[in-house]
Amino acid sequence: MNRLVLQNVTRRFGGLVAVDDMSFSVPEAGVTAVIGPNGAGKTTLFSLISGFLPPSSGRILFDGADITGLAPEKVAGRGLVRTFQLVKLFEDLTTLENVKVGRHLHTRSGLLAALARTPAARREEREVEARALELLTFVGLKLKADTPASGLSYGQQRLLEMARALAAEPRLVLLDEPAAGLNGEESAALSRIIRRIAETGTTVLLIEHDMTLVMNTADRVVVVDFGRKIAEGTPGEVRVDPAVIAAYLGSAETAPIARKDARHG
């Protein structure tokens, strides 16, 4: 069964075709990576899937339902959430509070009722807090629960963004360059966390330039260049695909296996 299906999805910005007639499917199980040179259209693709941008044409199906053109909060409410290439946290809130905000997307009474302090809301608030602490433990940030988000290292902020996304209990999570700016040890830990997310039944679709992470973490890879899908397969297959090698050599970047992204570091 496919979690996500893209059918001929295109997005134009004026004369620029950022995503060009893209079709692929993401199965329920495992981790799928989207790779490609800078400006290939990867983040635009995520914005189309998560409802932040409407496609110019084409269809997007999530668990069989057409979500094309739905607003981001509608898409999130159905169980599809994203993280951002550049971290977007509530810097003045604590680590724990940031995760709780993500969780309120999922609870019945929501944030307003939590503020109203009815008995039901108080009970729900305790559950939200317990689940948020579980998620912080999962990403290794439990000891930072009461630290303001602004007091975390960059790597920790990326992990917090992930915990916040998972708090919505998504069936599909889109991670935009989760390893950008992380050191080797941090990205190895991240790889294990991503595998475990997939093992718990949440489908993972990630954009990543860190090829060690992609090779170690992804079950499948979709390669894009100039908005078009140029290859698809296992990490081992795409790594030796002539079209993929040509795309990376043709850009100002090194081949995918060797490339180490430094832009956000």
**Residue 178 within binding range of ligand ATP, rule CB under 6 A:** no
* C-alpha to C-alpha distance for 44 and 52, rounded to whole angstroms: 9
* C-alpha to C-alpha distance for 202 and 28, rounded to whole angstroms: 8
- What secondary structure letter does DSSP report for 234? -
Among 4, 6, 18, 31, the residue binding ligand ATP under the rule CB under 6 A is 18
Residue recorded with tokens 């269809």: 59
Cβ proximity of 230 and 224 under 8 Å: yes
Which x/- pattern over 64-93 shows residues binding ligand ATP (rule: CB under 6 A)? Answer: ---------------------x--------
Of the ranges 3-11, 39-47, 87-95, 214-222, which one interacts with Mg ion (CB under 5 A)? 39-47
Kindly identify the residues of this chain, within the stretch 85-124, that bind Mg ion according to CB under 5 A. 85
Cβ neighbours around 1 below 10 Å, total: 8
**Residue 83 within binding range of Mg ion, rule CB under 5 A:** no
**Residue 156 within binding range of ligand ATP, rule CB under 6 A:** no
CA angle 26, 133, 101 (to 5 degrees): 70
Closer to ligand ATP by CB, 1 or 86: give it: 86
Closer to ligand ATP by CB, 43 or 203: give it: 43
Name the phi and psi angles at 16, rounded to 5: -85, 130
Among 8, 38, 137, 153, the residue binding ligand ATP under the rule CB under 6 A is 38
